[in-house]
Structure 1
């Protein structure tokens, strides 16, 4: 194994990295699967690229998600390392993760998700009605549909329809793409009391919803979620339950606008091609660019590099799904491709619990948009941005369209 190399500036490889990171990742992959980099935001961390290496990193127990236990190894703790709201599956390792996921999965079932289909369609139809109200022929599809659809559905699912969505959107944006440690900590600090009160209200007046079910669920031995675990799961479900779908819809439309032949093909057979189109969108330009950071629990030799204990490690799914060793002509967007095997939703024990819901919302939103607006097109450059910063979420904040 080689000694640790100096960090590579991602913007030094390409000034267009934020808008188009794929050539940068591909160039790094040609040199090897593991690299120490400096992100455009100035973070010094390690990334893993390549399909097989990313899958291997996801299941390597030396890379931990539990910052509460192993954060002392890191030179700088993330804002979420301590405090309430961090006792959920995304910030835990086995056996804690195994227990938490088992309890949540008892209620977050495929049957419950499938039952949401009529509601997803109803919300989509209402939002598109509002888009064209008064004869309007243009809108920002992120604000008009991609954000309110999944936010409404996840709030319905949890039973918190009165959520202050504008405030929560700001908190969520800060969590997934922090503008700085203080702002990130402030977002957590504002969201936790707010959610605590919502949960207290739900305890007093439970309903037929996921949050009420999580409050009362218990396994065969009587184990149940603690107060902090419940708060943490509510926070995770709301944030992850909308951020992924927002950018699945946005990135999907951008890909279709950039590939008019594929857009025409999809319009010609929406019922037959929409499911495959969503999978290809997830592979080609998925909403999650890289994993949430792992911490090296010990000195790790991986992919020909020596990663010191305490290092932050990000698994780049965006590159894994553009790896020619796994997908033929990976840079070609083809909605008829068999895109199965992509890791847009992660891999292993941290595979996204909400993947079925995101897929459902993506299918309904894109199909209905194209049915209702046969002439839907980008209103200007679909890549005008602004782009979401950081290596976690891939997408644009705005996407003007016309019809």
Structure 2
């Protein structure tokens, strides 16, 4: 492994990928690298290479010799993973998500009322994106998160803990155990008042083939949905609005139709997935040839969705913000912001709904929104999964 390729790579521009991705993609799309913990890995930066790794069952999220990642139970492989997705899928349906649209819009309007009545400059993260995301995911699950400060503290601590970092396993385990204890309290309260919501459906989920979720599975799934639903949406909204402001596109979005808003949202997540989060590591379970490179069983493989989504072989002028590119191109060329293959994001429909409503509502209510300060002054939270700005100061 090349010791000079130590992750993470430098990112001179906050909303642009590290220049090293383009350089590697052009000459060595499957390259050696070293993780932040000092572990050797293969780094995959081409669209075709990333697609292959995420779709090939010989690349798994569990390392050879292990039965589980020790984290979220959806991070398994094969039949155990498929079983959980079948059970969750029964509750996480398109109908259920679409039925949330009026509620998400109401919550966005309420949060906008609070934002516009606050002092300026405000913080896009703590004054809009985070409380909206917490409210939406709480409504989906059917739980009351009255202690939003406590919820954010636990969720943020868990997301920032890095199992792969030097000495990080103990800290990460403590953070996730604390968060799991809080989620267990929510589940216990929900058992007493089952309703027409996702958590009730998960509690009652099961069939003759799959069986019901045990307490550990239920707690871990609910924890995963809560954490990812809050973190991913918060970061996507904050980063998306920042991009629209810098592109000078926020004001025009307010008068756009639904299809145009959807197109803008898709282009934002295509370009900004690397700022929001990346796919979990994979491990090769057999000797595999990938793009002419021999990968041995047991090797760690890191795909970069951000690099794949800017592959010029698939996306003409990939760094240009073009909301119409996905309709102009062949349907088979889709961005991979929500992953690909058996571990593609279960919450993609909810994320699309929430991000789209948040962007359009902000554009309609505050078309003259602008950053308060320089974009290079924004501080970023870095974690093993989700990444986002600590704060985005705004004025209008």
Q: Please give the TM-score of this superposition, normalised by the length of structure 1.
A: 0.87
Q: The residue matched to 2:301 in structure 1 has which SS?
A: strand
Do 2:10 and 2:18's aligned partners in 1 also have CA atoms closer than 8 Å? no
- Does the residue aligned with 1:106 lie in a helix, a strand or coil? helix
CA contact (8 A) 1:19 1:387 kept: no
Which residue in 1 is equivalent to 2:253? 266
The match for 1:32 is 28
Deviation at 1:53, TM superposition (A): 0.9
Match of 2:235 in 1: 247
Q: Where do 1:181-196 residues align within 5 Å? A: 181-196=169-184
Q: 1:163 to 1:46 in 2, by over 3 A?
A: farther
- Alignment correspondent of 1:124: 108
Q: How do 1:169-184 residues align onto structure 2 when only pairs under 5 Å count?
A: 169-178=152-161, 180-184=168-172
Q: Deviations over 1:6-56 (max 9, x none)?
A: 244347964638764342211111122212223456554332111111111
Contact 2:60 2:77 in 1 (8 A): yes
Deviation at 1:380, TM superposition (A): 1.2
The alignment status of 1:304 with 2:300, answered yes or no, reads no
C-alpha distance in structure 1 between counterparts of 2:7 and 2:257, whole Å: 39
Please, which of 115, 123, 135 is the counterpart of residue 140 of structure 1? 123
**3-state SS in 2 of match to 1:142:** helix
Corresponding residue for residue 137 of structure 2: 154
Aligned to 1:227: 215
The SS at the match of 2:31 is strand
Q: Distance in 2 between matches of 1:185 and 1:301?
A: 35
Q: Cα distance, 1:296 vs. partner?
A: 2.5
Q: Is the 8 A contact 1:18 1:387 kept in 2?
A: no
The Cα of 1:230 is off from its aligned counterpart by 0.8
Choose which of 275, 278, 285 in structure 1 pairs with 2:262. 275
- C-alpha distance in structure 1 between counterparts of 2:297 and 2:250, whole Å: 47
Deviations along 1:216-260, one digit per CA (max 9) or x if unpaired, are 122254622122111111011001112221121112112112212
Partners of 2:172 and 2:335 lie apart in 1 by 30
Q: Distance in 1 between matches of 2:317 and 2:150?
A: 42
Structure 1 unaligned blocks of 5 or more: 73-79
User: For residue 53 of structure 1, what is the aligned residue in structure 2?
Assistant: 49
Matched residue of 1:147: which SS? helix
2:72 is the counterpart of 1:86:
yes
CA separation of 1:65 and 1:222: change in aligned 2, threshold 3 A: closer
Which residue among 380, 384, 392 is the counterpart of 1:399? 392
Whether the aligned pair in 1 keeps the contact of 2:245 and 2:369 (CA below 8 Å) is no
Query: How far off is 1:298 after superposition?
Result: 3.8
Instruction: Say if 2:225 is the partner of 1:237.
Output: yes
SS class of match (1:95)? helix
Report the equivalent of 2:282. 294
Cα distance per residue 1:135-188 (max 9 Å; x no partner): x34311011111111111111111221364333323333443326333212111
Say if 1:383 and 1:149 are closer, same or farther in 2 by CA, change over 3 A. farther
> For residue 97 of structure 1, what is the aligned residue in structure 2?
81
Q: Give me the TM-score of the superposition, normalised by structure 2.
A: 0.89
How many Å separate the matches in 1 of 2:292 and 2:222? 39
Matched, 1:114 2:98: yes
Q: Deviations over 1:187-235 (max 9, x none)?
A: 1121222222322222233222111111112225462212211111101
Question: CA RMSD for the aligned pairs?
Answer: 2.5
Are 2:252 and 2:363, in contact at CA under 8 Å, matched by a contact in 1?
Answer: no
Q: Distance in 2 between matches of 1:112 and 1:12?
A: 38
**Contact in 2 for aligned 1:270/1:367 (Cα 8 Å):** no
* 2:62 matches 1:66: yes
Q: CA deviation at 1:103?
A: 1.0
Change over 3 Å in CA distance of 1:188–1:289 after alignment to 2: closer
Please, which moves more after superposition, 42-51 or 139-148?
42-51
Go from structure 1 to structure 2 and tell me whether the alpha carbon gap of 1:317 and 1:13 turns closer, same or farther (over 3 Å shift): closer
Partner SS for 1:332:
coil
Residues 296-350 of structure 1 deviation map (CA, whole Å, 9 limit, x = unaligned) = 3244432333334333322111111011011110010122332760000000111
Judge conservation of contact 1:123–1:149 (CA < 8 Å) in 2.
yes
